[in-house]
Amino acid sequence: MSHKPIAPNHRYQAQMVSRRHILLINGPNLNLLGTREPQIYGSTTLHDIEQASQTLAFSLGFRLTTFQSNHEGAIIDRIHQAAGFFPSPPSPSPSSAATTTEAGVDPEDKVSAIIINPGAYTHTSIGIRDALLGTGIPFVEVHVSNVHAREAFRHHSYLSDKAVAVICGLGPFGYSAALEFLGRHMKF
């Protein structure tokens, strides 16, 4: 009785299914959602938003990491980390004065896309714009309120012209909309 030969390149290996990784960043004062100006931002807390986003991301096949900071530099560092770069520790000699390093980077930290509500930094931060452009990570800009129906200084964003999409005025649903969009339409 003859057996069919197994092709030499035919491997029975369990494939690790790695989930696409999305980073959700919320900027200054968004930790106050739920109590902050409820007539503008509603009563949903950031914790509620992050939990709902985790559930939705899982069902869409994403891994989601959430991050909130009131500090511009911390947000910039987090964007760098999402691309695999970390600020170097202070250098003892000028000859080794690199500003970033890839040493020790966990490939799992790298993300495919960022959803960002930069809060007030939307209207002021060239640094966050440059971090997003410098890393090249595609991003969706989200605002809970309709910034265009508010004060004139909120009408300009330093990010919108570089964003894959901009969502504003949908309340907390804006975060879900961003995730759904990435799940269905982004090729990465």
Ligand X SMILES: O=C1C[C@@](O)(C(=O)O)C[C@@H](O)[C@@H]1O
Catalytic site positions: 41, 143
Asked if 29 interacts with ligand X (CB under 6 A), we say: yes
Is residue 147 part of the contact set for ligand X (CB under 6 A)?
yes
H or E segment to which residue 29 belongs: none
Q: How far is the CB of 61 from ligand X (least distance, A)?
A: 27
Total of residues contacting ligand X (CB under 6 A): 10
List Cβ neighbours of 40 (8 Å cut-off, separation of 6 or more): 144, 145, 150
Q: Which residues contact 180 (CB under 8 A, 6 or more apart)?
A: 56, 60
Pick the closer one to ligand X by CB: 153 or 188. 153
Please state the length of the chain.
188
Site for ligand X contains 120 (CB under 6 A): yes
Residue 76's H or E segment, with its range, is helix 72-82
Q: What sign has the CA pseudo-torsion 78, 80, 81, 85?
A: negative
Least CB distance to ligand X at residue 170 (A): 10
Choices 58-66, 69-77, 116-124, 177-185; region in contact with ligand X by CB under 6 A: 116-124
| Helix pair angle (46-60, 173-185), 10° resolution | 20
In terms of CB distance, is 63 or 154 closer to ligand X?
154
Shortest distance in whole angstroms from residue 149 CB to ligand X: 10
State yes or no: residue 178 binds ligand X (CB under 6 A).
no
Q: Does 137 bind ligand X (CB under 6 A)?
A: no
Residues whose CB falls within 8 Å of the CB of residue 28, separated by 6 or more in sequence, listed in order: 69, 70, 71, 119, 120, 121
Residue numbers in the known binding site for substrate are 117, 123, 130, 144-145, 154
Provide the binding-site residues for ligand X, judged by CB under 6 A: 29, 117, 119-120, 122, 143-145, 147, 154
